[in-house]
Structure 1
């Protein structure tokens, strides 16, 4: 009966909670990767550096759908670049993660 006073058992939501945690964990890793890319690009990181190259290569498949989304050139300040499409991708992926987490937990009652 898991602590209920009305005699009805609460539905077990462990699977829903686990799925929600996995979704947010994966989204956190992806958003961190994209944030690293944005900061490295903003600071003009050298692509010849191993760490910067890894971040750019690992994040490329996730931001490729957002290339040329806006009709303007990337704002360059010397070697620094402001990648607006990376910020937009981060917002889209955070929204998608939120929607998926909500879909997984539909019907769960939080008391």
Structure 2
């Protein structure tokens, strides 16, 4: 029985001789195919990358909102309005915490950043639990 975590090594040897020549050309190739466990780790790594990309973008937008409001930017036109519109659904649940409707400094945005980072970490750990390959039991 083959171990599922053992790498499969494929070796090829190609012998070619040019037409009418006395010399043969030997070409050797070695290819290592990933194990099922390595493929599973690759999937896990990619899923975690996607989670942290989305969490990072969201946190960056909320932080930008916080800084723009702190510096007194005009949030009714242009870029300020865009940032406010994009982040409003994500910050809205936290606004009543400090009664900051239309405030210049939104401390609730900082709470939102902490909560979304915590959710990203929890989702990343959940992906590890679900997708990480199981180690084979040790034989005694």
TM-score tier after normalising by the smaller chain length: 0.7 to 0.9
Q: Does 1:39 align with 2:67?
A: yes
Q: Does 1:108 align with 2:136?
A: no
Distance of 2:58 and 2:100 partners within structure 1:
25
Distance of 2:65 and 2:89 partners within structure 1:
12
Match of 2:24 in 1: none
Larger Rg: 2
TM superposition score normalised by structure 1: 0.78
Determine which of 82, 103, 119 is the counterpart of 1:96: 119
Distance of 1:92 and 1:105 partners within structure 2:
20
Root-mean-square deviation over aligned CA pairs: 2.1
Distance of 1:84 and 1:53 partners within structure 2:
19
Match of 2:57 in 1: 29
Deviations 1:48-94 (A, max 9, x none): 33000000010000011112123x557x6xxxx22110000000000
Residues 88 and 104 from structure 1, CA distance in 2 versus in 1: closer, same or farther, beyond 3 angstroms?
same
Q: Secondary structure at the match of 1:67?
A: helix
List gaps (5 residues or longer) in structure 1: 4-8
More strand by share: 2
Q: Secondary structure at the match of 1:82?
A: coil
Determine which of 47, 50, 58 is the counterpart of 2:86: 58
Distance of 1:73 and 1:61 partners within structure 2:
15
List gaps (5 residues or longer) in structure 2: 1-5, 9-34, 134-140
